[in-house]
Chains A and B, each alone.
Chain A
């Protein structure tokens, strides 16, 4: 009886829920138009058409530029190039009696084009062939890339640790310092590595130094924010206990906060290290050292067999890195 008093409508008159309404249809149409425009701008339509063309072409129907491009790369990329072949005449300190390991001398034809007479002159030349020479070179380059990632991480920690402490609300010496440090970290975070590397190559010249600093600058922004947030979220109890016994703030930070946040920090640093190595492989494209420089050089010379070797080494390194860090993570810190 009391129900009747509360509502004047009987349930037969209650309003039905409708999924499809003019308003919903309008929203859907507007979204569709906007997304279509955006997709056209980003060539999503072309991607769909070209990809389906490639798929059809692969089974023998029609022709496709995409597939041709892939085949052009593929046919030149395999077999991959792992040996190094150098004309002996170009080697400065060559000793016929003291060849590098596994190396041998091959006699071949060295063609030279004379543009004035439009003729080819063929000369018999000796080549020094190192069967694993190129692989060795790429591996050394990869090692340099890993070292770049390592030092990028180390410098990043050196920047982000003090900044992170200054940027944590509970340990910053002053509100202004807090705002400044947070802003600085955001600034570091906001600049992509490739762009920083472009500038640093201008300043420091070609080589790993630009890459290392670019990695350090960008990732210190990320790490610093992590550090600051972790310090802010540390449990207050032990801090109160040490603080109320008269210990200074830095000592409280060292004893009541650091031990607590340490495992999380290690996890962050590990992630950043991994990421830095992956990023370091592409930084060379702008001349900032590492394997990317070799990759870019070979790519521009259309030496796709060399490129394939580089890609393989990068691929293997990333996988090994993943396995290694998984194992490391399983060991409880």
Chain B
């Protein structure tokens, strides 16, 4: 479905954010990119919709090679949930969701914010699925709570019936209970619409709970790739150790002694 073919991204200051990563993601998978901050998760993900261009290597979605000519075509097949959400604060919940349909909407109709009954119904259905009630429909996005905004972002990502949904740290700023429920909504929506999800996370526990497949990254390289069941204690502790700064492990040894 989605193929990364030995992609590398070197930033202007010389840091290798992603280093020779090859990855095949199957259709319908809920794939979590796991790793500490700066591991290259977001960079890898942003290569899919052209926000970040790979320095070398290539990305392919289905049979479409990602290049300048195909970029819009590929972008239309992708829904994205940004880390900072990027909802439009002064627009209503409904129109924030419908904004996800803009690429396909008629030009003049979209200028006067006119959307057909069917598309509006679809937005209602999606909002209901992610757990937002009708009373929120006409509220401005800026008036919603963090968890509600996150749900609007999910609905927006799914409204264009994308094949792939990219979620960049969708629960970074939420409390644990809210995080679980948002990830639950995301997973349900993905299963319901048959979309492939690539989701970056830094919390191991959520990855183990929700992922079909975990790809752990460290310093731009794949460190682990498999199902959550294969992620045994030693790999987990290794990932933790790598994420932790070195001096703390020394302290732990001293206490143990």
- Give residues in A with beta carbon < 8 Å to B: 237-238, 240-242, 244-248, 250-252, 254-256, 259-260, 262-263
Q: Is B91 an interface residue (CB 8 A)?
A: yes
**A247 to chain B: which residues have CB within 8 Å?**
99, 102-103
B100-114 near A? 1/0 per residue, CB < 8 Å: 101101010011000
Instruction: Tell me whether B110 and A244 are in contact (CB under 8 A).
Output: no
Q: List 28 A-B contacts (CB under 8 A).
A: A237-B82, A237-B86, A238-B88, A240-B82, A241-B86, A242-B102, A244-B50, A244-B51, A244-B80, A245-B49, A245-B76, A246-B72, A246-B75, A246-B76, A248-B102, A248-B107, A251-B103, A251-B110, A252-B102, A254-B111, A255-B88, A255-B99, A255-B102, A255-B110, A256-B99, A259-B89, A259-B91, A260-B88
* Contact status of A241 and B76, CB under 8 A, knowing A250-B107, A255-B91, A259-B91: no
Considering only CB atoms and an 8 Å cut-off, how many residues of chain B contact the other chain? 28
Instruction: Tell me whether B102 and A259 are in contact (CB under 8 A).
Output: no
Cα(A321)–Cα(B86), bound, Å: 39
Q: Is B87 an interface residue (CB 8 A)?
A: yes
Query: Told that A246-B75, A248-B107 touch, could you supply 5 new A-B pairs with CB distance under 8 A?
Result: A244-B50, A245-B78, A245-B100, A251-B107, A255-B95
**B80 to chain A: which residues have CB within 8 Å?**
241, 244-245
Nearest chain B residue, comparing its CB with the CB of A262: B90
**B84 to chain A: which residues have CB within 8 Å?**
237
Cα(A309)–Cα(B253), bound, Å: 94
Q: Is B8 an interface residue (CB 8 A)?
A: no
**A245 to chain B: which residues have CB within 8 Å?**
49, 75-76, 78-80, 100, 102-103, 160
Nearest chain A residue, comparing its CB with the CB of B112: A254
Cα(A5)–Cα(B72), bound, Å: 68
User: What's the minimum C-beta distance from A34 to chain B, rounded to whole angstroms?
Assistant: 51
**B102 to chain A: which residues have CB within 8 Å?**
242, 245, 247-248, 251-252, 255
Q: Please provide the 7 A-B residue pairs with the shortest distance between their CB atoms, ordered closest to farther.
A: A246-B75, A241-B86, A247-B102, A246-B103, A237-B86, A259-B90, A246-B76
User: What's the minimum C-beta distance from A110 to chain B, rounded to whole angstroms?
Assistant: 64
**A242 to chain B: which residues have CB within 8 Å?**
99, 102
User: What's the minimum C-beta distance from B114 to chain A, rounded to whole angstroms?
Assistant: 12
Cα(A147)–Cα(B156), bound, Å: 45
Instruction: Tell me whether A260 and B90 are in contact (CB under 8 A).
Output: yes
Nearest chain B residue, comparing its CB with the CB of A250: B107
**B90 to chain A: which residues have CB within 8 Å?**
259-260, 262-263
**B88 to chain A: which residues have CB within 8 Å?**
238, 255-256, 259-260
**A248 to chain B: which residues have CB within 8 Å?**
102-103, 107
Cα(A238)–Cα(B96), bound, Å: 10
**A244 to chain B: which residues have CB within 8 Å?**
49-51, 75, 80
* Contact status of A240 and B76, CB under 8 A, knowing A251-B102, A251-B105, A255-B91: no
- Dominant SS at the A interface? helix
**B103 to chain A: which residues have CB within 8 Å?**
245-248, 251
User: What's the minimum C-beta distance from A242 to chain B, rounded to whole angstroms?
Assistant: 6
Cα(A73)–Cα(B76), bound, Å: 74
Tell me which of A245, A251, A252, A255 has the highest count of chain B C-beta atoms within 10 A of its own C-beta: A245
**A255 to chain B: which residues have CB within 8 Å?**
88, 91, 95, 99, 102, 110
User: What's the minimum C-beta distance from A267 to chain B, rounded to whole angstroms?
Assistant: 14
**A263 to chain B: which residues have CB within 8 Å?**
90
User: What's the minimum C-beta distance from B122 to chain A, rounded to whole angstroms?
Assistant: 16
Tell me which of A237, A250, A260 has the highest count of chain B C-beta atoms within 10 A of its own C-beta: A237
**B100 to chain A: which residues have CB within 8 Å?**
245
Nearest chain A residue, comparing its CB with the CB of B74: A246
Cα(A247)–Cα(B100), bound, Å: 9
**B107 to chain A: which residues have CB within 8 Å?**
248, 250-251
User: What's the minimum C-beta distance from A167 to chain B, rounded to whole angstroms?
Assistant: 20
Cα(A147)–Cα(B91), bound, Å: 33
**B110 to chain A: which residues have CB within 8 Å?**
251, 254-255
Cα(A171)–Cα(B137), bound, Å: 30
User: What's the minimum C-beta distance from A299 to chain B, rounded to whole angstroms?
Assistant: 49
Cα(A237)–Cα(B82), bound, Å: 9
User: What's the minimum C-beta distance from A252 to chain B, rounded to whole angstroms?
Assistant: 8
Nearest chain A residue, comparing its CB with the CB of B140: A259
Cα(A252)–Cα(B110), bound, Å: 11
**B78 to chain A: which residues have CB within 8 Å?**
245
Cα(A241)–Cα(B100), bound, Å: 9
Contact among B72, B73, B82, B95 for A241, CB-based, below 8 A: B82
Nearest chain B residue, comparing its CB with the CB of A253: B111
Cα(A254)–Cα(B110), bound, Å: 9
Tell me which of A246, A260, A263 has the highest count of chain B C-beta atoms within 10 A of its own C-beta: A246
User: What's the minimum C-beta distance from B49 to chain A, rounded to whole angstroms?
Assistant: 5
Cα(A237)–Cα(B83), bound, Å: 10
Instruction: Tell me whether B75 and A238 are in contact (CB under 8 A).
Output: no
Cα(A193)–Cα(B147), bound, Å: 53
Nearest chain B residue, comparing its CB with the CB of A260: B90
B60-94 near A? 1/0 per residue, CB < 8 Å: 00000000000011011011101010111111000
User: What's the minimum C-beta distance from B52 to chain A, rounded to whole angstroms?
Assistant: 10
Nearest chain B residue, comparing its CB with the CB of A236: B86
Tell me which of A242, A247, A254 has the highest count of chain B C-beta atoms within 10 A of its own C-beta: A247
User: What's the minimum C-beta distance from A229 to chain B, rounded to whole angstroms?
Assistant: 19
